[in-house]
Amino acid sequence: MVFLISGFWHGAEWSFILWGAYHGFFLAIERLFLLKLTSKIGAFFRVLFTFFVVTLGWVLFRSQNIQQAMSFFKKMFSFTFKESFFSNHLLSILGVAVILSFIPLFYKLKITESDDSPLNFSFKRTVLTILCIILSLGICVGEITSSDFNPFIYFKF
């Protein structure tokens, strides 16, 4: 019920209601049996599964109505590439998004919690990380400021 209400709170379209029900459904089945079932496939595949489920949910959230959502789903699962709807610009954004989304999965930093042991930080790694963050921020700000007008998400509500 909470997720249905959350979907309605985001907007008065059926796509938002379905989005809330969708996330509520997966949360409920995760608590009932899905967590135990997916624990056998390993962390990497659990992350991929979660990414897939959440991505499908965002189609519902982003669509203006149910017909548009169904059209997106149809294109996503048709696997026909007669027409290219991926521009080079979109592919570059998707590539960066995938890389940045999955870095935390593979990035391991060991920090001991003992007060008497010094933290083992590499100065070069820290500077490189800061530079990557600043570069990513610059790319994001440039993308946002150069794009067309996007209305506030709750404008229709």
- Start-end of H helices in the chain: 2-10, 14-29, 35-38, 43-62, 66-78, 88-106, 123-146
Q: At residue 154, does pLDDT exceed 60?
A: no
**Domain chopping of the chain, boundaries:** 1-83, 86-157
For the record, the structure tokens of 54 come out as: 């959440």
**What contacts 56, CB < 8 A, 6 or more positions away?**
22, 73
Per-residue pLDDT at 109 exceeds 50 = no
Query: Active-site residue 23, yes or no?
Result: no
Dmax over CA atoms of the chain, in Å, equals 63
Plot region of 9 (φ>0 → left; ψ -120 to 50 → alpha; else → beta): alpha
Label residue 156 by pLDDT band (50, 70, 90). Answer: low
Check if the beta carbon of residue 7 is closer than 8 Å to that of residue 61: no
Active-site annotation holder among 10, 38, 48, 57: 10
Residue 112 has pLDDT above 60, yes or no: no
What distance in Å separates the CA atoms of residue 13 and residue 63, rounded to the nearest whole number? 9
Instruction: State residue 82's pLDDT score.
Output: 64
What DSSP character marks residue 13? S
> How far apart, in whole angstroms, are the C-alpha atoms of residue 28 and residue 9?
20
Q: Give the pTM.
A: 0.55
- Of the candidates 84, 108, 106, 88, which has an alpha carbon nearest to the alpha carbon of residue 96? 88
| 15-19, 24-28, 119-123, 144-148: range with lowest mean pLDDT | 119-123
pLDDT at 111: 43
